């Protein structure tokens, strides 16, 4: 898997979790003190998020950062 595919996969996983939690991108952004476009770019795989940004996302989604990377086997 190349970098672009990896970032898209990560973004899709975050979107999947966010939707399961019943949150909009705007609501998640507000919870973590970010702007809506940051969440949108992340979910579309357009940015390479830092570990700390992913920790903030996990906190906002009320999950462990490990849950973001869990495989759905």
Give me the residue spans of the domains in the chain: 3-68
> What is the structure's pLDDT at 72?
60
> What is the structure's pLDDT at 73?
46
Phi (first) and psi of residue 51, to 5 degrees: -60, -40
Per residue in 9-56, pLDDT (tens digit) is 999 999 999 999 999 999 999 999 999 999 999 999 999 999 999 999
Helix 25-32 with 36-43: angle, nearest 10 deg: 120
Find tokens 């919870």 and name the residue.
31
CATH class as words, domain 3-68: mainly alpha
pLDDT band of residue 5 (cuts 50, 70, 90) is very high
């Amino acid at each position: 898997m190349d970098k672009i595919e990896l970032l898209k996969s990560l973004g899709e996983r975050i979107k999947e979790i966010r939707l399961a939690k019943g949150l909009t991108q705007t609501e998640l952004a507000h919870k973590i003190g970010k702007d809506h476009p940051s969440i949108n770019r992340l979910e579309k795989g357009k940015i390479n998020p830092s570990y700390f940004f992913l920790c903030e996302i996990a906190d906002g989604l009320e999950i462990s950062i490990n849950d973001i990377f869990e495989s759905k086997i």
